[in-house]
Structure 1
Amino acid sequence: MILIVKNIPSASQEDELADFVAPALRFCFWLPFKIGHILKTDIFCLKNPKTNGLAFHGRVFIDDDKAGRQAIKKLHGKRFNNKVVEVREYFIRSGKNDRRAGQQLVTVEILEQRKGDRRCHVKHSNQVQPYANVFDARNVYQVSRRARNELYDE
Structure 2
Amino acid sequence: MLLFFRNIPASTRPNELYSYVAMAVSEDLIEQAKHVITVDVMVIRDKRSNQLEHHGLVSVNSDEAGIRAIKNLNGLLFNGCEVLVRVYKQRDVKNDRRRNGLPVPSEIIEKRIQDRRRGASVEIYVDFSNVFYPITL
TM bucket, shorter chain: 0.5 to 0.7
* Structure 2 contact 94–100 (Cα < 8 Å) conserved: no
Alignment of 1:1-154 (within 5 A): 1-26=1-26, 34=31, 37-101=35-99
User: Which has the greater radius of gyration?
Assistant: 1
% identity of equivalent residues: 37
Give per-residue Cα distances to partners, 1:100-131, cap 9 Å, x unaligned: 3356xxxxxxxxxxxxxxxxxxxxxxxxxxxx
Alignment CA distance shift 1:5-1:42 (3 Å): same
Mapped to 1, the partners of 2:61 and 2:68 lie a distance apart of 13
Offset, 1:43:
1.1
Alignment CA distance shift 1:32-1:98 (3 Å): closer
* Structure 2 contact 93–100 (Cα < 8 Å) conserved: no
Mapped to 1, the partners of 2:36 and 2:55 lie a distance apart of 17
Offset, 1:9:
1.2
Alignment CA distance shift 1:49-1:67 (3 Å): same
What SS class does the counterpart of residue 9 from structure 1 fall into? coil
* Greater share of residues in strand: 2
Task: Give the residue type in structure 1 aligned to 2:67.
Answer: R
Offset, 1:86:
0.5
Q: How many residues align?
A: 100
Mapped to 1, the partners of 2:97 and 2:78 lie a distance apart of 36
Where does structure 1 differ by over 4 angstroms across 4 or more consecutive aligned residues?
none
Unaligned runs of 5+ in 1: 104-154
Mapped to 2, the partners of 1:88 and 1:12 lie a distance apart of 18
